Amino acid sequence: MVNHQNAFDEIREFLGDRLSQKDADRDQHAQSETWHRAPPPDAVAWPETTEEVSRIMAICNRHRCPVIGWGTGTSLEGHALATQGGLVMDLMRMDRIVDIRPEDMLAVVQPGVTREALNTDLRATGLFFPIDPGANASLGGMAATRASGTMAVRYGTMRDAVLALEVVLADGTIIRTGTEAAKSSAGYDLTALMVGSEGTLGIITELTLRLHGQPEDVSAAVCAFDTLDDAVNTVALTMQSGIPMARIEFMDEIAMRAINQNSGTDYPEQPHLMVEFNGSPDAVRANAEAFGEIAGEFNGQGFHWASSPEDRHKLWEARHAAYWATLKLRPGATGVVTDVCVPMSQLPGQVAAAAQDMKEAGLLGNIVGHVGDGNFHSLLLVDPNAPEEIARAKQIAEAMSLRALTVGGTISGEHGVGLGKRGLMERQHGEGWAVMGAIKTALDPNNILNPGKLVPDRA
């Protein structure tokens, strides 16, 4: 391992105790939500301004010291693990909401602002930020991984939400991408290039985000189905019918068992859909009735409606807790987590095949998903000290990805690549993966930004 002490000494000159090499701080930034593991970074820095980020990058570039951006640490594919040592740059002290412009329906924030903090600040404006991946993630991290979540079926992903960025490049150069206008046809779309680049092309230090008006009326419901096929076919027909859903989430029987045990609910241990409609009262009522008719065709039953904010919050809180609730079904287990996204016509067959794989492997796990846009997830519970179990779970995850590719889908709809999916990038992109590597080389010739992730290894 290369010794980067000279770089750290230079950084400490202006950061002081905001540069740490203590074991406790390093270990805190070596954690992963899932089974991915790596040694701790060599040091951790907490910058507070774009200028500090720029100085850190210039120093690290000169010393060829790896730099890994860090937000809340909630990514699922090991994106922020320091696999080659170096410096983790924790951006959570850059947490200022710079500007809210209701008349332009936009907000300007630093990367450490979380989505919940932004929405709390927006309450009095009549606007909200809709991208909701479940975890209270940092907005910088959400942009870096191109997050989406439960409301993507209506409002899109971070690709659609980010209007402009301030980014520090590998050599410390500060650039601004995009504008505050609704659209632009002036040159390469550098904003889109940075969104989803997983910290391999630059460090995001400011975001300009598109906001939306809070709906006049909102209603949510949960309903059970006899079989997985019935639930997923309901989703496919609902979307093909053009019913404007705000959310439509699938939960299998294992996920519902976990939710009941974790939240004290008593839902039947059957496949469920959780749905939400928003708009005018008349539109909400009409859309809910249309969905109910489709669900009835597939034996949907036991509708529980939640119209008050408190009841809706409880419903979606249970959904967002499904990951941690499922882990509790096997104390001491960790998760091999994966997601894929496929065309809607392929969704029923893809979900059924994944469920069959899990059954044949004899592994406990769930299937959930933001199925309104063809995106579903699997969490497989494994003993972290049992390599054979982890290997079986990884085989199932890889099989899901490869099947998705055969029907025109993608190896990840929202979790991203990180460490877990990098080995599948060439299968999805072919020669395009090498093009990504060329872009990386052009912007980061010393390969210091999150090395070992997303793009091919340097020759």
> What is the number of domains present in the chain?
4
CATH number of the domain at 185, please.
3.30.465.10
The bridge status of strand 375-382 relative to strand 334-341 is antiparallel
**Same domain (yes/no): 305, 406:** no
**Same domain (yes/no): 119, 17:** no
| pLDDT above 80 for 170 | yes
**Same domain (yes/no): 58, 145:** no
Is the sign of the CA dihedral 341, 346, 351, 356 positive or negative? negative
In contact, 143 and 115? CB cutoff 8 Å: no
Q: Is 271 helix (H, G, I), strand (E, B) or coil?
A: coil
| pLDDT above 60 for 1 | no
Q: How far apart are CA 298 and CA 225, in angstroms?
A: 8
Least-confidence region, from 107-121, 304-318, 384-398, 427-441: 304-318
* DSSP character at residue 143: H
**Same domain (yes/no): 108, 140:** yes
Q: How far apart are CA 425 and CA 447, in angstroms?
A: 19
Highest mean pLDDT of the ranges 71-75, 308-312, 381-385, 426-430: 426-430
| pLDDT above 80 for 459 | no
**Same domain (yes/no): 144, 122:** yes
| Over residues 147-172, mean pLDDT | 95
**Same domain (yes/no): 207, 252:** no
Cβ neighbours, 10 Å, residue 390:
17
**Same domain (yes/no): 285, 359:** no
CATH number of the domain at 61, please.
3.30.43.10
One DSSP character per residue, 208-225 reads: EEE-EEPPSEEEEEEEE-
**Same domain (yes/no): 239, 280:** yes
**Same domain (yes/no): 143, 197:** yes
Residue 100 binned pLDDT confidence (cut-offs 50, 70, 90): very high
Q: Where are the beta strands (DSSP E) in 291-341?
A: 301-306, 334-341
AA identity, residue 292: G
Residue 78 binned pLDDT confidence (cut-offs 50, 70, 90): confident
| pLDDT above 80 for 70 | yes
Q: How far apart are CA 65 and CA 448, in angstroms?
A: 6
**Same domain (yes/no): 64, 16:** yes
Cβ neighbours, 10 Å, residue 363:
18
Q: How far apart are CA 308 and CA 305, in angstroms?
A: 9
Angle at alpha carbon of residue 115, lines to 27 and 201, rounded to 5°: 60
The bridge status of strand 67-70 relative to strand 87-90 is parallel
Residues 6 or more apart whose CB falls under 8 angstroms from that of 71 comprise: 80, 91, 92, 111, 112, 137, 138, 140, 141, 142, 144
CATH number of the domain at 278, please.
3.30.70.2190
Last residue of a domain, one of 313, 341, 375: 313
Q: Using a pLDDT cut of 70, give the percent of the chain over it.
A: 100
Find the domain containing 376 and state its range: 324-417
Is the sign of the CA dihedral 397, 400, 405, 410 positive or negative? negative
Residue 354 located in a structural domain: yes
In contact, 147 and 135? CB cutoff 8 Å: no
Alpha helices, DSSP H only, in 211-299? 228-240, 253-263, 281-297
279-321 pLDDT, tens digit per residue, is: 999 999 999 999 999 999 999 998 888 878 888 888 888 888 8
The bridge status of strand 334-341 relative to strand 365-370 is unpaired
First-to-last CA distance in the chain? Answer: 19
344-366 pLDDT, tens digit per residue, is: 889 889 999 999 999 999 999 99
Residue 35 located in a structural domain: yes
Query: What is the SS3 string spanning 148-170?
Result: CCCCHHHHCCHHHHEEEEEEECC
pTM (two decimals)? 0.92
Residue 339, classified by CB atoms within 10 Å of its CB into exposed (0-12), middle (13-18) or buried (19+), is: buried
The residue ranking higher by pLDDT, 81 or 34, is 81
In contact, 54 and 101? CB cutoff 8 Å: no
Query: What is the SS3 string spanning 401-427?
Result: HHHHHHCCCECCCCCCCCCCCHHHHHH
In contact, 343 and 403? CB cutoff 8 Å: no
